[in-house]
Amino acid sequence: MAHAPKLDVKQDAALLVLGLESSCDETAASVLRRYTDGRVDILSNIVASQDEEHRPFGGVVPEIAARAHMRKIEPILAKAIKTSGVAWDDLDGIAATAGPGLIGGVITGLMGAKGLAMALGKPLIAVNHLEGHALSPRLTEDCPFPYLLLLVSGGHSQLLAVTGLGQYERLGSTVDDAAGEAFDKTAKVMGLGFPGGPQVQNWAARGKPDAIKLPRPMKGRDHADFSFAGLKTAVARAWEASDKTDTAKADIAASFQRAMTDTILDRVGRAMTLYRRTTGEEGQARIVVAGGVAANTELRAGLKAMAETRDFDFIAPPLKFCGDNAAMIALAGAERLAAGMIDTYDAPARPRWPLDTDAAATAPKSGYGKKGPKS
Ligand code: KG4
Ligand code: ZN
């Protein structure tokens, strides 16, 4: 039976927290200091991507990911501590992603964190990866609760009302694939390379966004859910029917990117209405975008323009904090630690772990994608 150490959190002082992230294909460690007023100093933020390992397969292979995390986690940890300039003993807590994600990777990071926490006699914070993304704007911005979050990555596509620490209401989510998966699949079908999002964006810059007619799944629906599977299939058909020239690649990439942007913006518009209903906020509100797909320039521009017309401030964290990173996990850990929300040393690794408490009833019935569970 594992025991948490006696809670001795410095409520009135800055907290120094180490975070670990290993739920998909990035092995990452970060040390940060969070002050009681919410300001954050990121002392180190080390991310080792596994793109090279997975590139030959055109997607993330769970077994390869787990082995790569095992190889990389120790040197990444050592580098994060060394770069931060802090001593192990100065840490106030150890935070690690405990799910959702590819279970082999999650176990690797969580076990590492448990070993460290036990050896150092420090509190362990088992962080929900999605909470890391949800809090990521608070790494660099003064972003008080509540706010609307659009989380679009290779594993997740969700719209959430973030009303407080540990308080998330899901306004919409994908019923099939994640947005990043659609970008990756589109790139794969046309042989553009991996990861697909940036490649599609590059090719799209040379193409005509109205060249190919593609569907806008869920557009105009009353709820704020997404669906990307049909769009993915339509792109594969369009490529099959094309003359497979570079012009065709550019036109299909541009048309796909426009369809994705239109679809996401339509769903965000719906979520803005639901968000105001949920929070009762009437004046200026905030919308935040996070996840790897948040790097897409067309999407960012569209969101910014839409936010203005709907009286929302648009917050897009720097790209390095949009994709998977450990600083966001360390921050979630520090916020939880400050609130006295720590975990026992036998906290489980959870491949599926919805962020919102009432998600069990509404969670989409989907399985694992190439980038992990579509939670
Ligand atoms: O958040 P992330 O780094 O990892 C996951 O949790 O999945 O997101 C990776 C996803 C990939 O699907 C990648 O193709 C996509 O983000 N992505 C982009 C762009 N950059 C990365 N999608 C569209 N446009 C981009 N510029
Ligand atoms: Zn993520």
Tens digits of per-residue pLDDT, 72-130? 889 989 999 999 999 999 999 999 999 998 888 999 999 999 999 999 999 999 999 99
Residue 13: per-residue pLDDT? 82
Asked if the model's pLDDT at residue 372 lies above 50, the reply is no
Asked if residue 159 belongs to a domain, the reply is: yes
Asked if residue 372 belongs to a domain, the reply is: no
293 pocket-lining for ligand 1 (C-beta < 6 Å): yes
Residue 363: per-residue pLDDT? 44
Please indicate whether residue 163 or residue 365 has the higher confidence score (pLDDT): 163
Residue 303: per-residue pLDDT? 98
Pair (161, 219) in one structural domain: yes
Asked if residue 235 belongs to a domain, the reply is: yes
Residue 358: per-residue pLDDT? 59
Pair (171, 311) in one structural domain: yes
Asked if residue 360 belongs to a domain, the reply is: no
Nearest 5°: the CA angle 110, 53, 130 is: 40
Asked if residue 28 belongs to a domain, the reply is: yes
Pair (173, 304) in one structural domain: yes
Residue 258: per-residue pLDDT? 98
Asked if residue 369 belongs to a domain, the reply is: no
Asked if the model's pLDDT at residue 143 lies above 90, the reply is yes
When the pLDDT of each residue in the chain is averaged and rounded to a whole number, the result is 90
Pair (154, 173) in one structural domain: yes
Residue 100 CA from chain centroid, whole number: 11
CATH number of the domain residue 37 falls in: 3.30.420.40
Pair (345, 308) in one structural domain: no
Contact by Cβ (8 Å): 60, 371: yes
Residue 297 CA from chain centroid, whole number: 17
Q: What is the pTM of this model?
A: 0.90
Asked if residue 362 belongs to a domain, the reply is: no
Asked if residue 60 belongs to a domain, the reply is: yes
Pair (57, 90) in one structural domain: yes
- Percent of residues, the chain, with pLDDT higher than 70: 92
Q: Which distant-in-sequence residues (6+ apart) come within 8 Å of 203 by Cβ?
A: 190, 192, 249, 250, 253, 254
Ramachandran region of residue 44, left (φ > 0), alpha (ψ -120 to 50) or beta? beta
335 pocket-lining for ligand 1 (C-beta < 6 Å): no
Best CA proximity match to 53, nearest among 32, 75, 68, 33? 68
324 pocket-lining for ligand 1 (C-beta < 6 Å): yes
Tens digits of per-residue pLDDT, 218-232? 999 999 999 999 999
Asked if the model's pLDDT at residue 59 lies above 80, the reply is no
Pair (312, 165) in one structural domain: yes
Residue 9: per-residue pLDDT? 56
Mean pLDDT of 174-179: 95
Residue 217: domain span: 143-316
Asked if the model's pLDDT at residue 329 lies above 70, the reply is yes
Q: Which ligand is nearest to the CA of 197?
A: 1
Nearest 5°: the CA angle 87, 90, 94 is: 100
Pair (83, 106) in one structural domain: yes
- Percent of residues, the chain, with pLDDT higher than 90: 78
Please indicate whether residue 371 or residue 240 has the higher confidence score (pLDDT): 240
Q: How far is the CA of 331 from the centre of ligand 1 (A)?
A: 21
Tens digits of per-residue pLDDT, 6-51? 455 555 689 999 999 999 878 899 999 999 999 999 999 998 887 7
Ramachandran region of residue 100, left (φ > 0), alpha (ψ -120 to 50) or beta? beta
Best of 25, 153, 158, 371 for a ligand 1 pocket test (most atoms within 8 Å of beta carbon): 153
Pair (290, 328) in one structural domain: no
Pair (58, 173) in one structural domain: no
158 pocket-lining for ligand 1 (C-beta < 6 Å): no
Residue 271: per-residue pLDDT? 98
Q: How many domains does the chain have?
A: 2
Longest pairwise C-alpha distance within the chain: 67
Asked if the model's pLDDT at residue 366 lies above 50, the reply is no
Residue that finishes a domain, picked among 265, 293, 316 = 316
Best of 45, 49, 264, 293 for a ligand 1 pocket test (most atoms within 8 Å of beta carbon): 293
Residue 198: per-residue pLDDT? 95
User: What is the rounded distance in angstroms from the CA atom of residue 337 to the CA atom of residue 327?
Assistant: 15
Pair (214, 275) in one structural domain: yes
Pair (179, 308) in one structural domain: yes
